[in-house]
Structure 1
């Protein structure tokens, strides 16, 4: 096994590849939170900046509406639905929420409403009735839609999420984790750039009733209540879950995603989410290492190849997110088993980049690939190389 130390590279990259492992910094985090469940991650690298009970099952309340939105976004992206399609407000969808205390879009029974307006009703107004209308149009019933949500969540890697309705209405079996909500948020932001701006719309008027977006980070005031760069995603509140928020904040090339739940009031939710967002940008930074296709090791040795060496290159743009105080102690190494036996095909993973630093509970690893084809020597060449190696290793 060969390990080669590398100097840090002052390169600029636009995106950091998703192939970087999620590295937990929980063991070294220097901040506490009153939230019962919490996770803060760097969007591009997936590095966990803070976590607290992030895999604990919890009542996600209206934050689970994000899964309903994801399902509809997929319909729109595939062309199966259009924003202008009109969906019926059935009596069953209307009755499900008419006399409840939950948030409503105030849809008239037996009316028809566009998909676009229903999405605004879900995202901005947190309308439970809008969720039911979308669910029935999608699967025929809200129960069938909840089953489809659960199946799709599993496919996205949200292995701890189970849905029993489209709105997050209290149900003892309707459960998610903070980590699953963070995973879902990354998909909403990354997979649907054309639709994601909906989450930052401040207000929406339907049926003569104007309602504002409930995300406290979107608002600014003379007292500085807003959070610069905040552009989504969703609040939630039930008695079982407490007050929660899934938030995204983007400043420059960096974006963080934050999930908090189990807080005691709207004010605590607003104050804590702002505090943690500022902490994440103040105490952490992203450090680029290599561009996609850039040579990391120019001459890794090859065994029985027509070339004696092969370059190892970065498969994608590579970088890390670290506490700023740990930057000076970051160590970057290349690990591969060598000599690398021929034949070698360009693009084949043959090594890995390993990053260690204070503040990381585990090393961050990313694959390195062969930068060129190397054919295997013919029979005669292999005999000659074997003899040569024998002579070169003989005692002198």
Structure 2
């Protein structure tokens, strides 16, 4: 017995690459781009470096609102009261990004959502935090706990707004995880991110996401800026069923944020594509058996597999099935027997487990004796 390696058809060999980002220069201090469906990372630059997220951290404030809307604790028509603190710290009185709320005003949840997304209203964030958790400090604790629950390993929050604070830190990768969660878990509320303007208290403001105004399929999510953070954007766009998430931060101007985000997003759609490889339950190949009542057993994959790869690399992929064989009987259906291994120059190998499609029994004593004699005399296995 020994390692068996079977190369698959060229159709398979043309359809997969490892989840490794390809290099492209960017002026962003931190950057991360991922294909939502496949999880393939197209770009990363200091993606796990702790950074001030500025108003991009408002995405977690929105996540906690959407969570309560979905489970029924909130409705869009519920109203929250604007406190003096929310008005002074987050409103027009502070000179910060604001929804222009007034003290003691009662505001619908739906309007607060729009105010946070479109107007980046710090006042709206504080109103939400105080209403949902009693205080902004308590809400920040909940934000940090939710981040850990979502797998955002390097995110901590000190406030609901993104206001500068040493305890307000995220990474570009964590922001992409949060964006993906918003898109996939709350599609009925994600639509708010695509709205370009909102009028409240007689004041109309426009969404600061520059990609919404370009014909590139962008429909979210949130800008951010402070003197420490620089200019940042967590964005997403969809074309022909393929969705990308891009996070950039540390840019030096509004213009640079717009131009660099557009350039990188266009690169992601242009240079990469998604390819379907296997369907769940598909027989990939067959494995030879030893001392079994069957000559071979089918090897199947237990999930649909779609992958992202550079268009120029598609023809250079090699796909093989590897296992220690012939495989001794008995074999049980669902038993992992082999793996698909995909390799190509300059990319990491990727492995996908394969399982027995059916049971295969063991030969009786006489059958095993005959098989052993054949192996000794003729070198025949089975």
TM-score (norm 1): 0.87
1:25 to 7, 17, 21: 21
Structure-2 separation of matches of 1:249 and 1:359: 28
Alpha-carbon shift at residue 321 of structure 1 (Å): 1.1
Question: Quick check: 1:233 aligned with 2:221?
Answer: yes
Structure-2 separation of matches of 1:367 and 1:21: 16
2:352 to 363, 366, 386: 366
Question: Quick check: 1:325 aligned with 2:312?
Answer: yes
Structure-2 separation of matches of 1:82 and 1:138: 13
What secondary structure sits across from 2:94 in the alignment?
A: coil
Residue in structure 2 matched with residue 78 of structure 1 by the alignment: 71
Question: Quick check: 1:176 aligned with 2:170?
Answer: yes
Q: After superposition, what is the alpha-carbon deviation per residue over 1:52-110, rounded to whole angstroms, capped at 9, x for unaligned?
A: 11111111111111111111111112122211122222233333223323211122221
Residue in structure 2 matched with residue 17 of structure 1 by the alignment: none
Q: After superposition, what is the alpha-carbon deviation per residue over 1:300-319, rounded to whole angstroms, capped at 9, x for unaligned?
A: 24566665533222322212
Conserved 8 A contact 2:220-2:235: yes
Alpha-carbon shift at residue 227 of structure 1 (Å): 3.9
Question: Quick check: 1:48 aligned with 2:33?
Answer: no
Larger radius of gyration: 2
Structure-2 separation of matches of 1:267 and 1:86: 37
Cα RMSD after superposing both structures:
2.4
Alpha-carbon shift at residue 8 of structure 1 (Å): 4.0
In the alignment, structure 2 segments of 5+ residues that lack a partner are none
Structure-2 separation of matches of 1:388 and 1:91: 90
Conserved 8 A contact 1:227-1:274: no
For residues 376 and 266 of structure 1, do their structure 2 counterparts lie closer, same or farther at Cα, with a shift above 3 Å needed? same
Structure-1 separation of matches of 2:54 and 2:239: 28
Residue in structure 1 matched with residue 256 of structure 2 by the alignment: 268
Residue in structure 2 matched with residue 352 of structure 1 by the alignment: 339
Residue in structure 1 matched with residue 109 of structure 2 by the alignment: 115
Matched residues, number = 373
Structure-2 separation of matches of 1:340 and 1:253: 44
For residues 294 and 36 of structure 1, do their structure 2 counterparts lie closer, same or farther at Cα, with a shift above 3 Å needed? same
Residue in structure 1 matched with residue 276 of structure 2 by the alignment: 288
Conserved 8 A contact 1:70-1:188: yes
What secondary structure sits across from 2:97 in the alignment?
A: coil
Structure-2 separation of matches of 1:174 and 1:334: 47
For residues 106 and 295 of structure 1, do their structure 2 counterparts lie closer, same or farther at Cα, with a shift above 3 Å needed? same
Conserved 8 A contact 1:21-1:365: no
What secondary structure sits across from 1:272 in the alignment?
A: helix
